[in-house]
Amino acid sequence: MRDYLLRSQHQLKLSILFLYLRLSTEKRFRQIVYSLASIVVCYSIVHVFIDIFGCRPTRASWDLAVPKSKKACVDKLTTYMVPSIASIVMDVFILLLPLLIILLFATGGL
């Protein structure tokens, strides 16, 4: 269930970023939005790979029949904390982007 929630968070962030692209035609702002969207996509891909290949043998990631004595997985605390911290940092940047739009309107450009 946690994996589905994380995937939906990534999609929501991308949706908001694409909305921001429609709000401004300023080249610099669009570059920032595209950069942040690229980071979100890369982060999502890395997270999928960690979920799939985080255990040895690989099938231990999804197969509950693999005995605990025969599998070695990455630390669960790490797999929860690192994505959470990265997600919070990305959220802060996404929330600050509209302030750039306000600055663009107020000053006439970046």
Q: What is the predicted pLDDT for the residue at 110?
A: 56
Q: How many domains does the chain have?
A: 1
Task: For residue 101, count CB atoms less than 10 angstroms from its CB and return exposed for 0-12, middle for 13-18, buried for 19 or more.
Answer: middle
Section 41-53 average pLDDT: 89
pLDDT of 62 over the 70 cut: yes
Block residue for tokens 């290949």: 53
Its domain, for residue 52, covers 2-107
CA dist 77 and 64 (Å) reads 20
Q: What share of the chain is helix, strand, coil (3-state, %, to 5)?
A: 80, 5, 15
- Mean pLDDT rounded to a whole number for the chain: 87
CA dist 47 and 41 (Å) reads 10
